[in-house]
Amino acid sequence: MNETKSNSGRWFWGIFIGLVVIALVFVGISFLVLAVSVTATGDRNFEYVTSGSGNEKIAVVELDFTILDSKSIVRQFKKYREDKSIKAIVLRVNSPGGGVAASQEMYEEVKKTRDSGKPVIVSFGSIAASGGYYVACGGSLIVSNPGTLTGSIGVIATFPNWKELGEKIGVKQTVVKSGKLKDSGNPFRDMNSDDLEYFQEIIDNSYEQFLEVVSTERKIDREELRKIANGRVYTGKQAKELKLVDSLGTYEDAIRIAGQIAKINGEPSIVREKSRRNFFEYLVEGVSGNPLKEIKEELNTEFLNKPVLQYKFER
Q: How far is residue 309's CA from residue 134's CA, in Å, rounded to a whole number?
A: 14
Write down the catalytic residue from 70, 95, 123, 130.
130
Q: Identify the helix (H) or strand (E) that includes residue 220.
A: none
128 and 311 in contact (C-beta within 8 Å)?
no
Amino acid code (one letter) for 231: G
Determine whether 70 is an active site residue: no
Write down the catalytic residue from 78, 182, 247, 275.
182
Contacts 24+ apart (CB under 8 A), 164-168: none
43 and 72 in contact (C-beta within 8 Å)?
no
How many CB atoms are located within 10 Å of the residue 192 CB?
11
How many CB atoms are located within 10 Å of the residue 270 CB?
16
Considering only the C-alpha atoms of the chain, give the largest distance between any 2 of them, rounded to a whole number of Å: 103
Of 69, 51, 117, 61, the residue nearest 94 (C-alpha) = 61
89 and 77 in contact (C-beta within 8 Å)?
yes
Determine whether 182 is an active site residue: yes
Q: How many CA atoms lie within 13 A of 80 on its CB side?
A: 31
The residues annotated with a catalytic role in the active site are 130, 182
